[in-house]
Chain A
């Protein structure tokens, strides 16, 4: 019970993930992104060793299909996993094991994978892919966010007793550095995707300030002053 859009930005080479699920604290599992190496995600019955192993294989230069083959050969429970792998050139491989629960599947596109399990149906996955493609003029992180919102709006997850809400969600993007360019999470919430959008829009207004403060601390205004000015601007805009 998860739906995910994993991608490489064709313009910048950034790699990123948008993910939402009924499980809590899903961001814990999203450790499969590394700039100039690739992106990978193991979900459904998560094998937590998969992402670090896949990244090491991608760093060697193995193709996504070969990485997937290695993960399979290394895991007696492979059929329970749902896995996507993208390399630094944007080549893609994905697998949805036969023992995933509910409706489960993936759609592969150029430089991205939309995938999910315990879903309302295929429509959740196709809606994510469509929204990601349609948003090609937006920034990479907004495309990822648009994709999981579309997945939610298309019905999202459906369990034993019907619809399951998103209780956790995450949005992560990596570029050339070892640290994330964006790493936002909602770990436990009734409407985690809405909450993630709220957190993103709020955080987005701080990004420039945080970056500048790090580069040029001498001239940085205190954060509470920045927040006061921001709130003033927001009130003025509202009026």
Chain B
């Protein structure tokens, strides 16, 4: 019960991941993204070593398809995993085993993969894709968010007892190996995607201030002063 998208921005080469799920604190299980290397995200039944192992192989230069084969050979429960892989050039590969509960599936697009399980149906994947492609010139983080919203609005997750809300959600974008550009999370909330939009939009207001005070602290105003300028603007 998760729907996700991994993608590469062709103009900036940034890599990003968006995820929303009924499970809580899903953002804490997304370590498989590294700039200049690629993304691997395992979901449904997660084996936590998978994503970092895949990154190591991608870093060596192995193709997403070969990495997927190695993951399969390494895991007796491969059929229970849902895995998407994208390399630094945007080549993609995905696997939805027979184990994840229905409806489960994925769509591989040009430089991105949309995938999910325990969904209302294939229309959720279509909604993710449509949301992602709606504004191709937007920053990657907003395209990922639009993708998650598209998946939610197309019905999202449906379990044994009917619709399941998104309780956690996260967006990661990287353009540098050592720290993320965007790392916004909601870990436990009744409407996690709506809350994630609130967090992301607020963060974007602070983004440049936070960055610049790191680069040139001698020129930075205090955060209290910065917040005051915000309320003045409003």
- Are the C-beta atoms of A176 and B13 separated by less than 8 Å? yes
* B178 x A61 contact (CB < 8 A): yes
Interface of B is mostly: loop
A176 cross-chain contacts in B, Cβ below 8 A: 13, 36-37, 88-89
In the complex, what residues of B have CB within 8 A of residue A177's CB?
A: 61, 88-89
Q: Is A89 an interface residue (CB 8 A)?
A: yes
CA A177 – CA B88 in complex, angstroms?
Answer: 8
Contact A13 B177 (CB under 8 A): no
Q: Is B75 an interface residue (CB 8 A)?
A: no
Asked if B11 CB lies within 8 Å of chain A CBs, one says: yes
Please provide the chain B residues from 43 to 88 with a CB less than 8 Å away from any CB of chain A in the complex: 61, 88
Least CB separation from B14: chain A residue: A13
Check if B35 is an interface residue, CB within 8 A of chain A.
Answer: yes
Q: Is A12 located at the chain interface by the 8 A CB criterion?
A: yes
Closest residue of chain A to B59, judged by CB?
A: A178
Question: In whole angstroms, how far apart are the Cα atoms of A35 and B35 in the complex?
Answer: 10
- Which B-chain residue is minimally distant from A36 (CB atoms)? B36
Residue of A12, A35, A61 touching B12 (CB-CB under 8 A):
A12
Q: Give A93 Cβ to nearest chain B Cβ, in Å.
A: 15
Q: Indicate if the CB atoms of A36 and B35 lie closer than 8 Å.
A: yes
Number of interface residues of A (CB under 8 A): 12
Number of chain B residues close to chain A: CB under 8 A: 13
By secondary structure, the A interface counts as loop
Asked if residues A13 and B61 are in contact (CB atoms below 8 Å), the reply is: no
Which residues of the partner chain B approach A35 to less than 8 Å between Cβ atoms?
36
- Whether A152 sits at the interface, judged by CB under 8 Å, is no
Q: A35-B36, A36-B35, A36-B36 are in contact. Are A175 and B178 (CB under 8 A)?
A: no
**Is A233 part of the contact surface with B, judged by Cβ < 8 Å?**
no
In the bound complex, do residue A11 and residue B61 qualify as a contact, i.e. CB atoms below 8 Å apart? no
The distance in angstroms between the C-alpha atoms of A176 and B89, with both chains bound, is 8
Mask, A65-95, CB within 8 Å of B = 1, is 0000000000000000000000011000000
Chain A residues with Cβ below 8 Å from B13 are: 12-13, 175-176
CB of B176 closer than 8 Å to a CB of A: yes
A sample of 19 cross-chain residue pairs with beta-carbon separation below 8 angstroms, ordered by A number, consists of A12-B11, A12-B12, A13-B13, A13-B175, A13-B176, A35-B36, A36-B35, A36-B36, A88-B176, A88-B177, A175-B13, A176-B13, A176-B36, A176-B37, A176-B88, A177-B61, A177-B88, A177-B89, A178-B61
Q: Can you add 5 more A-B contacts, CB < 8 Å, to A13-B176, A177-B89?
A: A35-B36, A36-B177, A175-B13, A176-B37, A176-B88
